[in-house]
Copies of this chain bind each other. A is one copy, B any other.
Amino acid sequence: MVTSNANKAREVAAFFGGLLEVTHVALDLPEHRSEDVGEIAQGKARFAYGQLNAPLIVDDTGFSIDALAGFPGPYAAYVQKSIGNAGILKLMEGKSDRTARFTTAIAYADATGVRVFPGTLEGQIAHNPRGDGGFGYDPIFEIGGTTLAEIPMEEKSRMSHRARALAAFQDWFLQEHAAGQSK
């Protein structure tokens, strides 16, 4: 797992729960500007593989609000840091469509190339922030009336966009690996 974020690497290692062995490589990856997290993850994976020459995964996450034409999109981290949830709620005043989604793309690179596995979590922008858990957009993103910041961490980790992308990758990887072993 190539990331500058040690917590993220730990979370990913925990997800695989020993089924796959994951090592954390702390490398700051240049990110190409794109509005597609899959494309961003793919670019980062290609760059990292050029540096490391070993099978690896990287990820990229975006947050997209339908009524704001997809804003903040791939710039979710920057927008959170600048205008924050207060800014998002201000922009959403008077909007009836409050649909939003997180998307994580996991990109896997090896000698044969790069493959991208997306994972999505759809919900609604709340009218007010709620909950003490989570971080970033969690207090204003609700699913079935509950914000992500009100959901226990463990449950959140199981249902998250990142978990869904990791699961898609894991399914594919284990199948490939089994196929390789049976040859």
Contacts and interface: CB of A to CB of B under 8 A. Distances in A.
Contacts of A78: 35, 71, 73, 75
Interface in A22-76: 30-33, 35, 40, 43, 68-73, 75
A81 B69 contact: yes
Interface residues on A, range: 20 to 34
A24 to B, nearest CB: 22
A83 interface: yes
A90 to B, nearest CB: 6
A93 B43 CA distance: 38
B35 A33 contact: no
Contacts of A81: 69
